[in-house]
Amino acid sequence: MTIRAKRAFKYRFYPTDGQAAELSRTFGCVRKVYNMALAARTEAWTLRQERVNYNSTSAMLTAWKKTEELAYLNDVSSVPLQQTLRHLQTAFTNFFAKRAKYPRFKSRKKSRKSAEYTTSGFRFRDGMLTLARMADPLDIVWSRPLPEGATPSTVTVSQDSAGRWYVSLLCEDPSITPLPTAETAVGVDAGLDHLLTLSTGEKISNPRHERRDRARLAKAQRELARKAKGDGANRAKARRKVARIHARIADRRRDHLHKITTRLVHENQVVVIEDLTVRNLLKNGKLARAISDAAWSEFRSMLEYKAHWYGREVIAVDRWFPSSKLCSVCGSLQDKMPLNVRTWTCDCGTAHDRDMNAAKNLLAAGLAVSACGAGVRPQRRSPGGQSVMKQEAPRREL
């Protein structure tokens, strides 16, 4: 069976000076339209209790273009401007459905620079991509081929903080097919000393990408701090140097997680993980930096969408499940398990490695959930209403 999955293929490209100027103008106009539409919708609701939809903001855009003050909106393609209004509509839909917070205004310096084009805003022929208002195609580095016969439905152009240009093509990928059913299942306990501990006994080391480049990053940040604030060229150059180091760290981390998640999904029919509240864990000032470097949320996201692609199952066990304090052999529960205890011996005589024991318990709990058809409780709160903190965080100095 083939899954008609939408898949984004991201490539780096090198624009000409004219193309870079055109795209920069487009990014600015997209941000301006989004902010004006958000302000109009907010004012309408605050003052008149009136909900403004996409059609209304689209009519506003037409009126804005006719004014002298905003006439520059006519200098860029209208497709990305309409798309940003659709994105705003989606943001409000998620807000009213209580899936997200209220939409926020886009900052010129901090927000992501991007513009999305639909089929009416680009031409893709013979492996050449040409955007609206541009005479020449983009100079794309085709690091991997698109699926045979695939035609992009949307194209998103972006520039990261390090100044690198990317284009993302959203296509249907017919090559994604479920893998043959496997008989194996694995429990995965996330940590910091080791990135992952598997119920099979394997421990996957934590590369600590941020720590490896911490000295370089600190030096670049000190140089940036010494530059005079403003829009000077020297400060911009120092800022890009810091951004390039951050980008290098993020790229290596993402590559490592892709390799791990692909392997876990290919080797196992069921993968059991713990439902972690990473946002709350980041409130721990001593561990926040290491937790961010481990990227547990990104790991789970990759694992879930790859499992969907290949017909696998990911089970998230309730975060209150005492995976570390429960003996995986006799089932007895320890009263206390301080964080500095990494190995312990049960009353039944079994010696446990804390993380490995937790992974085995997670596997057993996940298989029980799968067999009984019971749902996990990913949003469970503690009796006192406080946010849950993970008990298995290691005590090592970070």
Is pLDDT of 386 > 50? Answer: no
Query: Do 128 and 256 have their domain in common?
Result: no
294 and 192 in contact (C-beta within 8 Å)? yes
Number of domains in the chain: 2
Query: Is-contact 122 132, C-beta < 8 A?
Result: yes
CB 330 within 8 A of CB 350: yes
Q: What residue ranges in 283-363 does DSSP mark as E strands?
A: 313-317, 343-345, 351-353
**pLDDT (0 to 100) of residue 61:** 97
Range 133-156 average pLDDT = 93
Most confident among 3-7, 176-180, 241-245 (mean pLDDT): 241-245
Q: Are residues 70 and 197 in the same domain?
A: no
Domain-terminating residue out of 152, 173, 194: 173
Residue closest to 304 by CA, chosen among 381, 378, 253 = 378
Residue 250 has pLDDT above 60, yes or no: yes
Quickly tell me which residue has 């401007």 as its tokens.
81
Distance, CA of 329 to CA of 332 (rounded, Å): 8
Boundary residue ending a domain (151, 173, 195):
173
179 assigned to some structural domain? no
267 and 317 together in one domain:
yes
Structural domain contains residue 242: no
Query: Which of 128, 202, 138 minimizes the C-alpha distance to 359?
Result: 202
pLDDT beyond 90 at 284: no
If asked whether residues 140 and 192 sit together in one domain, one would say: no
Residue 304's CATH number: 3.30.420
387: pLDDT strictly greater than 50? no
Is the per-residue pLDDT at 332 higher than 90? no
Q: Report the percentage of the chain scoring pLDDT > 70.
A: 92
pLDDT tens digit string along 40-66? 999 998 998 888 999 999 999 999 999
Give 72's DSSP letter. Answer: G
Catalytic residues: 189, 274, 355
The model's confidence at residue 304, banded by pLDDT at 50, 70 and 90, is: very high
Q: Given a cut of 60, is residue 151 above it in pLDDT? A: yes
CA distance 273 to 319: 10
The model's confidence at residue 251, banded by pLDDT at 50, 70 and 90, is very high
69-75 contacts, C-beta under 8 A, 24 or more apart: 70/32, 72/25, 72/29, 73/29, 73/32, 73/33, 75/25, 75/29
Same domain, 162 and 93: yes
Is 218 among the domain residues? Answer: no
Q: How far is CA 369 from CA 55, 184, 324, in A?
A: 45, 16, 18
Quote the pLDDT of residue 354: 85
Check whether residue 62 and residue 124 sit in a common domain.
yes
Q: Is the pLDDT of residue 394 over 60?
A: no
Flag whether 180 is in a domain.
no
380: pLDDT confidence band, cut at 50, 70 and 90? very low
Higher pLDDT, 290 or 116: 116
Q: How far apart are the first and last CA of the chain?
A: 47
Shared domain check, 200 and 150: no
Q: Are residues 137 and 101 in the same domain?
A: yes
Confidence of residue 231 (pLDDT cuts 50, 70, 90): confident
**How far are the Cα atoms of 185, 271, 272, 320 from residue 363, in angstroms, in the given order?**
8, 8, 6, 15
**Cα dihedral across residues 341, 347, 351, 357: positive or negative:** negative
Surface-to-core class of residue 305, CB atoms within 10 Å of its CB (0-12 exposed, 13-18 middle, 19+ buried): middle
Q: What is the mean pLDDT of residues 186-204?
A: 91
Looking at the chain, the whole-number percentage of residues with pLDDT higher than 90 is: 63
pLDDT of residue 297: 92
Predicted TM-score (pTM) of this structure = 0.82
Residue 384 lies in a domain: no
Three-state DSSP class for residue 288: helix
pLDDT digits (tens, 9 = 90+) for 254-266: 999 999 999 999 9
Confidence of residue 281 (pLDDT cuts 50, 70, 90): confident
- Asked if the model's pLDDT at residue 389 lies above 80, the reply is no
Per-residue confidence (pLDDT) for residue 156, from 0 to 100: 98
Query: Does 138 lie in the same domain as 45?
Result: yes
Residues 132 and 40 in one domain: yes
Indicate the burial class of 187 (C-beta count within 10 angstroms; 0-12, 13-18, 19 or more). buried
Mean pLDDT across the chain, nearest whole number?
88
- What is the residue range of 368's domain? 185-206+247-372
The reply to whether 221 falls in a domain is: no
Q: Are residues 113 and 80 in the same domain?
A: yes
| Per-residue model confidence (pLDDT) at position 232 | 86
Within a domain: 213: no
**Residue 1: per-residue pLDDT:** 53
Domain boundary among 173, 194, 224: 173
- Token pair, residue 22, equals 């055109």
Query: Is residue 390 scored above 50 in pLDDT?
Result: no
Determine phi and psi for 267, rounding to 5 degrees: -90, -20
76-85, 244-253, 360-369, range with the lowest pLDDT: 360-369
| Same-domain status, 91 and 189 | no
